[in-house]
Amino acid sequence: MKKLRDITLLYVEDDFQTQENMLLLLEEEVKDLYQAFNGKDALEFYYTKQPDIIITDIHMPHLNGLNFAQTIKEINPKQPIIIISGYDTKDNLLHSIDIGIDHFISKPLDIELLFEKLNKIANKL
């Protein structure tokens, strides 16, 4: 069982300001925080860094978050992934369930909910 401070986290988001905000929010809370601006770069981080938890947005260039998450789940079905998106359409939610996403959090982001989910996942690792 790990604590949040013991985990490595990959955050995938194409919006620079949102990336900066998450960096400020998470960098002191986790062991290592890796950041990618699209799913293609995130795959490279995944292969080289093997993060404990992945947080990804859906709509990004080169490889969207759902396709990125699906690729990761095909490699490692137990990889914890949280989707954070402003596009919480029924199709996105159903696709997330189908590929085994651990949690789906709608934007605007509820920080307390995010930390609740991160701690829950970390405690299971």
Q: At 23, is the pLDDT very low, low, confident or very high (cuts 50, 70, 90)?
A: very high
**Structural domains of the chain, count:** 1
Identify the pLDDT of residue 62. Answer: 85
- Mean residue pLDDT of the chain comes to 91
pTM for this model (two decimals): 0.92
Task: Give the pLDDT confidence of 32-90 residue by residue, as tens digits.
Answer: 999 999 999 999 999 999 999 999 998 888 888 899 999 999 999 999 999 998 766 67
Domain that holds residue 56: 4-124
Instruction: Tell me the CATH number at 51.
Output: 3.40.50.2300
The mean pLDDT of 2-11, rounded to a whole number, is 93
DSSP output for the chain? ---GGG-EEEEE-S-HHHHHHHHHHHTTTSSEEEEESSHHHHHHHHHHH--SEEEE-S--SSS-HHHHHHHHHHH-TT--EEEEES---HHHHHHHHHHT-SEEEESSP-HHHHHHHHHHHHHH-
